[in-house]
Amino acid sequence: VPSPHCPHCPDTNETVPHLLLDCPSYRRDRHALTAALGRKASSLPFLLSDPLATQPLVRFLNATGRFRKTFGEIPIPRPLPDQRR
């Protein structure tokens, strides 16, 4: 991207934590993520490493549209057979 700044928060760098946990522009989308994962939705290590977070996280990213220009709609992965819902 031409700038490291968040497109919604010009004085803030768009870091992974900012995008996933802090950016006020994605508050509504983040609410859906929290509804799916509960308090674990505020844990960056959980979001980025736990297989149970993958589907809700991809849904969140698609809802923000932040990667659509580069990647298009990100396919929602199938859950692994041993994942509990």
Q: What is the pLDDT of residues 32-47, one digit of tens each?
A: 999 999 999 999 999 9
Higher pLDDT, 5 or 84: 5
- Nearest CA to 43 out of 32, 55, 34 is that of 34
Give the separation between CA 56 and CA 14, rounded to whole angstroms.
21
Predicted local confidence at residue 18, as pLDDT: 97
Average pLDDT, the chain: 91
For residues 58 and 80, which has the higher predicted lDDT (pLDDT)? 58
| Residue 53 clears pLDDT 70, i.e. is over it | yes
Which residues, other chains included, contact 18 with Cβ-Cβ below 8 Å and sequence gap of 6+?
A: 6, 9, 12
- Domain ranges, ordered by start, for the chain: 16-66
pLDDT at 49: 96
Sign of CA dihedral 81, 67, 33, 5: positive
Distance from CA of residue 58 to its chain's centroid? 6
pLDDT the model gives residue 35? 97
Most distant CA pair in the chain, distance: 43
pLDDT surpasses 90 at 14: yes
